[in-house]
Structure 1
Amino acid sequence: MWISAYFSGVKVGLGTLIGMRLRRVSPRQIIQPLIKATKTGLDLTTDQLEAHYLAGGNVNRVIDALIASHRFSSRRY
Structure 2
Amino acid sequence: MEIAVTVAPAFARSEPRRTVEQFVQSIVMDLPTANCWTLAEALGHPAPSRLQQILARAAPQAFHRKRLSPI
TM-score (ref. length: structure 2)? 0.33
TM-score (ref. length: structure 1)? 0.31
User: Higher relative contact order by CA 8 Å / sep ≥ 6: 1 or 2?
Assistant: 2
